[in-house]
Structure 1
Amino acid sequence: MPLTSLTPPVSGAAVLAMALTALVMVLTPGPNMIYLVSRSIGQGRGAGLISLAGTGAGFVIYMLMASLGLAVVFVAVPWLFIGFKAVGVLYLAHLAWQALRPGGRGVFEVRDIARDSPARLFRMGLLTNLLNPKAAIMYLSLIPQFIEPSRGNPAVQGLALGAVQITVSLIVNALIVLAAGTIAVFLAQRPSWAAVQRRVTGTLLGAAALLLAREVPARARV
């Protein structure tokens, strides 16, 4: 068996970088987290987990669309590949500012919402993710940062990296769903802790943006 057939589609460094980026992104308050936390606090952990299944399905749809639809385009149109990478960096910088700016609202400061059926919870989780700009940017602009065309098929790499992102996102969000009620009470009693969380998240996002900005000029090659 040729040695090249044993080569994994993505490098260990790319997997680690993707996992760390996905971790920072999933810990950044956004539509998905707000919806999941709201359901968990207002309707219980079971409702939060059903909603999470819907968001997971949304990630799979994005992963398939991005990996299968953009793989060839990145090589055929190099400037588009570079442009997507630049947008990803700008979006990370935007998230960093949103986390660090004064007057930000914590994700666990949620309002009471009506109770919904399991089918509606799943459907709303799916729609929340499909309409979530953070999810779109993740697959269209951030994952391409870690694709190495010299290693082989970009589509296979995109699927592998997407699987890493989905795994990290589901695990972290499941833990957040299970702990949402306790965290909400804790932060309500300690406002300074919420501010510390936002500062740490913003700093990590800013550092990631700076590191990825160094890679923007690199173009796709076969």
Structure 2
Amino acid sequence: MEGMLGVSDATFLSFAVASFLIELTPGPNMTYLALVSAGDGRRAGFATVAGIALGLAVVGVLAALGVSELIQTSNLLYESLRWAGVLFLFYLAFEGWNTGTDVVSPADGKRGKYFTRGLVTNLLNPKAAIFYVAVLPTFVEAEKPVLAQTMALTAIYVAAATIVHAAIVLMAGTLEPFLNDPRRERIARRVLSALLAAVALWFAWSTAR
């Protein structure tokens, strides 16, 4: 039975559930969104969410065009992308650890920075590329146009990820008033930065071939 976005209702439901479960697994996006939203507020968090969504969409389109498969088959390209992502996460953790306690107030004027970081974090994430190459195709129905289905499933995945990420921003953003105290803000920021550094280590280990 034909459903939303040109995929069957059964495919839509099963892929949407899979996408939500994948995005609920702790990872770089979740940790960094908590760090940004708790320390700098919801506007900064939502700007990061927008960047993440665009990054996931771009990777999905590149996967549909075969670029992600090329990255997966080339050890040099894969390792370069993997280590660039790991180093970028460490950079974000280092900056979060060392940022002063006055970062809450000027965040509104730096939303472009958060958008860019959300975008770059996902463009440098080889696991996103592998998802589009190894997982998404298993939901493609053989009797229908492959490219159209791939783009539709990409849209579903990006939508599911955005919903999860927006929820994280809303929850973490509620802590911002509590963290207006410089001491509490510093402690929370450093705890989350340490967690992000730990995620970077996990990311390096989990993406190794």
TM-score by length of 2: 0.60
Q: Which residue of the other structure, out of 50, 70, 78, is the alignment partner of 1:53?
A: 50
Query: Which residue in the other structure is 1:188 paired with?
Result: none
Structure 1 outlier segments of 4+, above 4 Å? 5-8, 181-185
Q: Which residue of the other structure, out of 107, 130, 152, is the alignment partner of 1:160?
A: 152
Report the identity percentage: 39
Q: Does 1:17 align with 2:10?
A: no
- CA separation in 2, counterparts of 1:7 and 1:121? 32
Contact 1:54–1:123 under 8 Å retained in 2: yes
Paired residue total: 143
* 1:146 alignment partner AA: F
Q: Does 1:132 align with 2:125?
A: yes
Query: Which residue in the other structure is 2:91 paired with?
Result: none
TM-score by length of 1: 0.57
Deviations for 1:179-210, whole angstroms, at most 9, x for unmatched residues?
A: 1155899xxxxxxxxxxxxxxxxxxxxxxxxx
- CA separation in 2, counterparts of 1:6 and 1:49? 30
CA separation of 1:52/1:8 partners in 2, compared to 1, >3 Å: closer, same or farther? closer
**Structure 2 spans left out of the alignment, 5+ residues:** 73-95, 179-209
* 1:169 alignment partner AA: A
Matches within 5 A, 1:96-175: 112=97, 114=99, 115=103, 117-150=110-143, 152-175=144-167
Deviations for 1:75-108, whole angstroms, at most 9, x for unmatched residues?
A: xxxxx9xxxxxxxxxxxxxxxxxxxxxxxxxxxx
* 1:68 alignment partner AA: L
Q: Give the C-alpha shift of residue 137 in structure 1.
A: 2.3
- CA separation in 1, counterparts of 2:3 and 2:157? 23
Q: Does 1:27 align with 2:27?
A: no
RMSD (Å) for aligned C-alpha atoms: 3.0
* 2:6 alignment partner AA: P
Q: Does 1:178 align with 2:170?
A: yes
